[in-house]
Amino acid sequence: DIQMTQSPSSLSASVGDRVTITCRASQSIRTYLNWYQQMPGKAPKLLIYAASTLQSGVPSRFSGSGSGTDFTLTVSSLQPEDFATYFCQQSYYSPWTFGQGTKVEIK
């Protein structure tokens, strides 16, 4: 199975900060990389698919980049509603696999 490794596992940031989360695949997945946001007790919500395509309705402060094995999710200016856990997911190889998550907390 493809292993997805996120870093950091958690971070503390302030409203207005630029935040970057990294996801690394154990082998090349081209751009078959998706990002989700999860609030406590809620289901994951799709933010970005195909590495850099913003899902409809997602604010433009979210962006994604990367290809091959290294990917990033960036929040250009963190808002109060962005404090959550973020997961990456690869969809190039079966079984589709997720990262372990990055928790973004308020500093």
Partner 1 sequence: EVQLLESGGGLVQPGGSLRLSCAASGITLSENVMSWVRQAPGKGPEWVSTISGDNTYYAGSVKGRFTISRDNSKNTMFLQMGSLRAEDMAVYYCAKASAGTLGYFDLWGRGTLVPVSS
Site residues for partner 1 per CB under 8 A: 4, 32, 34, 36, 42-46, 49-50, 55, 87, 89, 91-92, 94-101
Closer CB to partner 1, residue 23 or residue 78? 23
Q: How far apart are CA 83 and CA 107, in angstroms?
A: 10
Instruction: Determine the 3-state secondary structure of 7 from DSSP.
Output: strand
Q: How far apart are CA 95 and CA 75, in angstroms?
A: 28
| Nearest distance, CB of residue 81 and partner 1, angstroms | 18
Closer CB to partner 1, residue 83 or residue 98? 98
| Nearest distance, CB of residue 36 and partner 1, angstroms | 8
| Nearest distance, CB of residue 96 and partner 1, angstroms | 5
Q: How far apart are CA 27 and CA 41, in angstroms?
A: 32
Closer CB to partner 1, residue 61 or residue 103? 103
Name the percent of the chain in helix, strand, coil, to the closest 5.
Answer: 5, 50, 50
Closer CB to partner 1, residue 83 or residue 96? 96
For residues 48, 5, 87, 42, the Cα torsion angle rounded to the nearest 10 degrees is: 170
| Nearest distance, CB of residue 4 and partner 1, angstroms | 8
